[in-house]
Amino acid sequence: MISKSVTLSSNDFFHARPAAKIADAAKSYESVIMVMLGTEIADAKNAFSLMRLSHPKGSSVDILADGPDETTAITGVIQAIQEEFTPH
């Protein structure tokens, strides 16, 4: 199992569109991938699970991956998070 942290801005939260995009990215990996915000945990492959997380308000979220492709999985999910929460 590996984990990495990513800090979101105070305006970022897992609403429908980014949650769906992040879940789609996570589903492409075999590993179990979880997102932790404080004491809350969500299945990264489930958009509804991500949407139930509290508003991070600039907090750090931890991404955990466990499985045969955990290194590429964690990198891919963090990349998806960063793409969704970067102003376009």
CATH code of the domain in which 48 resides:
3.30.1340.10
Residue 82 scores a pLDDT above 70: yes
Residue 54, domain extent: 2-84
- Output the average pLDDT for the chain: 90
Tell me: the pLDDT tens digits for 13-56?
Answer: 778 889 999 999 999 999 999 999 989 999 999 999 999 988 76
The DSSP H or E segment spanning 66 is: strand 60-66
- Full-prediction pTM beyond 0.95? no
Please tell me whether residue 32 adopts helix, strand or coil conformation: strand
Domain count, the chain: 1
Q: How confident is the model at residue 10 (pLDDT cuts 50, 70, 90)?
A: low
